[in-house]
Amino acid sequence: MTAIFSNPPEFFWFLPTSGDGPYLGSDIGHRPVSNRYLREIAVAADRLGYTGVLVPTGRHCEEPWITAASIAPFTEKLRFLLAVRTGLYTPALLSRQFAALDRLTGGRILANIVPGGSASEMTGDGIFLDHDARYDHAAEFCTVLKRLLQGEEVTFHGEHIHIERGRQIFPPVQRPHPPLYFGGSSDAAHKLVAEQLDAYLSWAEPVADVAAKIADVRARAARVGRTIRYGLRVHLIVRETDAEARAAAEKLISHLSDETIARTQAAFRTQSDSEGQRRMAALHQGRRDKLEIAPNLWAGVGLVRGGAGTALVGSPKTVATRLKEYADLGIDTFVTSGYPHLEETYRVAELLFPYLGITSPRGGVEPAPIADYVSTVGPGVLSAQTPPLRVASAS
Ligand SMILES: Cc1cc2nc3c(=O)[nH]c(=O)nc-3n(C[C@H](O)[C@H](O)[C@H](O)COP(=O)(O)O)c2cc1C
């Protein structure tokens, strides 16, 4: 089997901080959030060679920065891509939290800047800004945050942010500042990421649509003399064959009622002002009979989940081939997940990583494979008949 990627991409997984389970839109097998469960996923991802985990924000999730602080000590190399609702913080507070966690984890913290896409959730958080004003706020916020993290003394009087002689005394490990990722599909979103941020993440739309978004962001960045990185956020349903993967996708929504779909889609329409969310919903239009919206790109997750709503479905070779089509657009980072997240952490690593060229487990020295040991002491050591090896005793 030949790897489809000559250079392994950055490959992130996801911490399900609002709960997990084997079926979408159903309580069957539901796994509530607990430190132990999230830790199991993070430890597995760390050992299996994932670059890091995305930790989302929103009122239905555990708070991401607190969650990461409680999980990171159990991991060694795993990075934490932590969502930030910019309206919930001051730049000074975030800069302090960011530097502290970056320092205490040895430089493993990244931020995903999310100005937010639900007006009603925003007002519940005390943020009374419309969509574009939230982006204006986020732009000022990021300007000040970056300068603080770089160690500057900052005085800034913007429309939204005011700060006088602000200082971050403890520098983060990652310099000049830890990377700032971002996802959003509106005009204001593309402007913000092109002008200020380090990496643009897109939910997985068909390749041509993602290509158009990247081309727009790239052109805007070039106009201000910047280059940034690109990433894709996508669910994965990988099985040994395409047919098994398709069956697993159907199983995932087998307990999802039409009523739940209708209610969820209505909520997205009335409560969300996110262009990205509108584009996700338009892919399936709430219909469960036309979910393969591009080859191997399945929109079933978005019937009931906000945000990332599409999955690549297929055998390891099929999925790797599809990922490569996105990589050819300039994408070098994938942020992935699958239900339930613990089992799928293993399945994706075991089945897909060889095709991506991700080979070495991370996080410390692994014991030698048993086969190596057997070959040094001769065959038969592991057979049922052989008594356990014993240290020579005096008797
Ligand atoms: C990869 C990715 C992750 C996101 N994570 C979150 C999140 O955790 N919480 C949230 O409220 N919004 C999240 N968003 C939503 C956006 O950041 C954005 O605030 C929203 O979609 C509105 O942007 P738009 O109208 O420009 O598309 C995410 C978007 C992307 C692409």
In a domain, 122, yes or no: yes
Ligand 1 center from residue 57 Cα (angstroms): 9
Determine whether the shortest distance from the Cβ of 274 to ligand 1 is under 6 A: yes
In a domain, 140, yes or no: yes
- The secondary structure of residue 366, as a DSSP letter, is P
Closest CA to ligand 1's atom 19: 116
Per-residue pLDDT at 366: 63
193: amino acid identity, one letter: V
Number of domains in the chain: 1
Residue 335's H or E segment, with its range, is: strand 331-337
Whether 266 maps to a domain, the answer reads yes
Pocket test for ligand 1, best of 18, 112, 114, 122 (most atoms within 8 A of CB): 114
372, part of any domain: yes
Closest CA to 264 of 309, 307, 303: 303
User: In the chain, what percentage of residues exceed pLDDT 70?
Assistant: 91
Ligand 1 centroid–CA 379 distance in Å is 56
Burial of 1 (0-12, 13-18, 19+ CB in 10 A): exposed
CATH of the domain at 185: 3.20.20.30
Handedness of CA 367, 43, 228, 352 (dihedral sign): positive
Please report the pLDDT score of residue 116 as a whole number.
85
Residue 342 lies in a domain: yes
With respect to residue 119, please indicate whether it lies within any of the assigned structural domains.
yes
| Residue 31 · residue 20 · CB < 8 Å | yes
Cβ(213) – ligand 1 distance below 6 Å: no
CB atoms within 10 A of CB 247: 14
- Positions of the chain with pLDDT under 70: 360-395
Q: Is 371 exposed, middle or buried (0-12, 13-18, 19+ CB in 10 A)?
A: exposed
How much is the pLDDT for 310?
Answer: 98
Q: Is residue 72 part of a domain?
A: yes
Please report the pLDDT score of residue 394 as a whole number.
39
Contact 88, 60 (CB under 8 A): no
Residue 372 CB neighbour total at 10 angstroms: 9
Ligand 1 atom 20: residue of nearest CA:
117
CB 53 within 8 A of CB 47: no
CA–CA gap between residue 165 and residue 85 (Å, rounded): 24
Give the pTM: 0.93
Which residue range(s) make up the domain with 344?
Answer: 10-377
Q: Does residue 393 lie within any of the structural domains?
A: no
Ligand 1 atom closest to Cα of residue 115: 19
Q: Ligand 1 centre and the CA of 188: distance in Å?
A: 13
Does the C-beta of 108 come closer than 6 Å to ligand 1? no
Give me the half-sphere count of Cα atoms (radius 13 Å) on the Cβ side of residue 340: 19
Closest CA to 56 of 381, 280, 305: 305
Q: At what angle do helices 275-284 and 258-271 cross, to 10 degrees?
A: 150
**pLDDT for position 372:** 64
Cα-based torsion angle of the residue sequence 55, 56, 59, 64 in order, rounded to the nearest 10 degrees:
30
Per the CB < 8 A criterion, the answer to whether 326 and 207 are in contact is: yes
